[in-house]
Amino acid sequence: MASVLITVSGPDKPGVTGVLFAALSAHRVDILDVDQVVIRGALTLGVLVATPGDPESLQEHVEQAMHSLRMTVDVSIDRVGDTDRRKATHTVVVLGRPLQAKAIGALARTFGEVGVNIETITRIADYPVTGLELSVTAADDDQLRAVVATVASKAGVDIAVQRAGLARRAKRLIVFDVDSTLITGEVIEMLADHTGTRDRVEEITAAAMRGELDFAASLRERVAMLAGLDAAVLDEVGRSLELTPGARTTIRTLKRLGYKCGIVSGGFTQVARHLVDELELDFVAANTLEVVGGRLTGRVEGEIVDRAGKARALARFAAESGVPLDQTVAVGDGANDIDMLTTAGLGIAFNAKPIVADAADTALNQPFLDPVLFILGITREEVEEADASDGRDAGRVPLA
């Protein structure tokens, strides 16, 4: 049997696919593969078939049928060719704002140089970033990740690499760091505003997040500067927290899909509970500030949720939820998140310090949390369709 590849292009309109398959059915062909894409009203439809009869007769029939619809058609006949579609080994998600052609060109050229083949390209997002998903075939996992990291750095885009297959869409639990991840600021710095110690606290926080200081020791030093603060300020700060753009959308969408969602924070339970209530989160792990007589003592109660503590909290939540660790996701930005990111099945560094980005599976450098969804294989269109079905507005706002 000969294999015949038919490619139809032209304005998208009803009936094209029906006319094509009616012509094919007259020749008793076997359908081997089909791909269709429509971009701005322009249709490209590819069909690979095996025919037991005369392929030239099939070609003539198909060309006549398509020309009757004023469609362009190209027919390629291969009597001995391989008709199997190659199975993609990896999924590569490219995100940019904007996503320019030179970035995709650089990635494609680099793939060609190292023998990585692009099987399919699909747009997955147009807001708040532009995102493309590439299915690729690569022989060397480490080489693929290395070349992608190089291109991402030079082109100024985010590129995430994951193994293709069910595992990517099998994630069921996600945890977020709070400060500078789920929210835009640092809670302890907001509290320090009320004690006149913000400058010193900011300095220590920055060094701790870069991994230059022991987190537990640095936390005790910073909390000591809050001694005497009225405990009512904790609720005041909790009510004033500003969520990172896309946080609500991301958590709402993941909960629709059955994810367990929570926060694992080096911050404080008295403030974090406001996020738990507002976002309807399933669990929280954070530090508890000691309060005596309505004022902070400058000490932390119990075991500190430090770098190792964050990883233990993730493992505990996964066990309580009956979710294997390889089906978990963690998102964070600081050095104290590294163990949590490497423990999770997928660790995402969010606008992170270099030491964190190097340890994570992938890094996002956009000021939005929505791209977490795109990395997990959820498209912007699916998000907005789900919101619309719930009577929600798409929530698009002008981007600076």
Q: What is the pLDDT of residues 100-117, one digit of tens each?
A: 999 999 999 999 999 999
Residue spans per domain, the chain: 2-78, 90-164, 173-187+229-369
Predicted confidence at residue 265, as pLDDT, reads 95
Q: For residue 396, give every residue at least 6 positions away whose Cβ sits within 8 Å of its Cβ, in sequence order, or none.
A: 127
Tell me the average pLDDT across 14-29: 92
- Greater confidence (209 vs 287) lies with 287
Torsions phi, psi for 287 (to 5 deg): -90, 150
Predicted confidence at residue 165, as pLDDT, reads 84
Predicted confidence at residue 169, as pLDDT, reads 81
Candidate list 177, 306, 337, 370, residue with the active-site label: 177
Predicted confidence at residue 209, as pLDDT, reads 87
Is pLDDT at 184 greater than 70 in this prediction?
yes
Confidence of residue 134 (pLDDT cuts 50, 70, 90): very high
97: closest CA among 374, 346, 388?
Answer: 374
Q: For residue 325, give every residue at least 6 positions away whose Cβ sits within 8 Å of its Cβ, in sequence order, or none.
A: 314, 315, 318, 343, 344, 345
User: Which helix (H) or strand (E) element contains residue 158?
Assistant: strand 158-163
370: closest CA among 36, 124, 58, 188?
Answer: 124
Q: What is the pLDDT of residues 47-58, one digit of tens each?
A: 999 998 899 999
Confidence of residue 79 (pLDDT cuts 50, 70, 90): low
332: closest CA among 297, 301, 315, 307?
Answer: 307
Mean of the per-residue pLDDT values for the chain?
92
Candidate list 33, 54, 78, 179, residue with the active-site label: 179
Tell me the average pLDDT across 266-271: 95
| Cβ–Cβ under 8 Å, residues 298 and 219 | no
Is pLDDT at 398 greater than 70 in this prediction?
no
Of all residues in the chain, the percent with pLDDT exceeding 90 is: 84
Give the dihedral sign, CA 379/384/390/394: positive
Predicted confidence at residue 353, as pLDDT, reads 86
* Angle, CA 99 vertex, CA 93 and CA 104 arms, to 5°: 65
Q: To 10 degrees, what angle do helices 269-279 and 232-240 make?
A: 40
Confidence of residue 255 (pLDDT cuts 50, 70, 90): very high
Beta-bridged to residue 136, according to DSSP, are: 90, 118
Point out the least confidently predicted range of 25-39, 76-90, 210-224, 375-389.
76-90
Candidate CATH numbers 3.40.50.300, 3.30.70.260, 3.40.718.10, 3.90.230.10; the one for domain 90-164: 3.30.70.260
Of all residues in the chain, the percent with pLDDT exceeding 70 is: 97
CATH code for the structural domain at 173-187+229-369:
3.40.50.1000
Confidence of residue 74 (pLDDT cuts 50, 70, 90): very high
Among this protein's residues, is 339 annotated catalytic? no
Candidate CATH numbers 3.30.2290.10, 1.20.80.10, 3.40.50.720, 3.30.70.260; the one for domain 2-78: 3.30.70.260
Give how far Cα 157 sits from Cα of 19, 54, 101, 141, 353, Å. Answer: 42, 49, 11, 20, 16
Tell me the average pLDDT across 305-319: 96
DSSP 8-state assignment for residue 258: T
Tell me the average pLDDT across 156-174: 91
Strands (E), 12-81: 30-39, 42-51, 72-78
Predicted confidence at residue 144, as pLDDT, reads 94
Among this protein's residues, is 230 annotated catalytic? no
Is pLDDT at 183 greater than 80 in this prediction?
yes
- CA 37, CA 40: separation in Å to the nearest integer? 10
Is pLDDT at 93 greater than 90 in this prediction?
yes
Confidence of residue 395 (pLDDT cuts 50, 70, 90): low
Q: What is the pLDDT of residues 330-378, one digit of tens each?
A: 999 999 999 999 999 999 999 998 899 999 999 999 999 999 999 999 9
Q: For residue 140, give every residue at least 6 positions away whose Cβ sits within 8 Å of its Cβ, in sequence order, or none.
A: 114
Is pLDDT at 80 greater than 60 in this prediction?
no
Give the dihedral sign, CA 120/109/165/256: negative
Is pLDDT at 84 greater than 80 in this prediction?
no
Beta-bridged to residue 359, according to DSSP, are: none
Confidence of residue 396 (pLDDT cuts 50, 70, 90): confident
Domain pair 2-78 / 90-164, same fold: yes
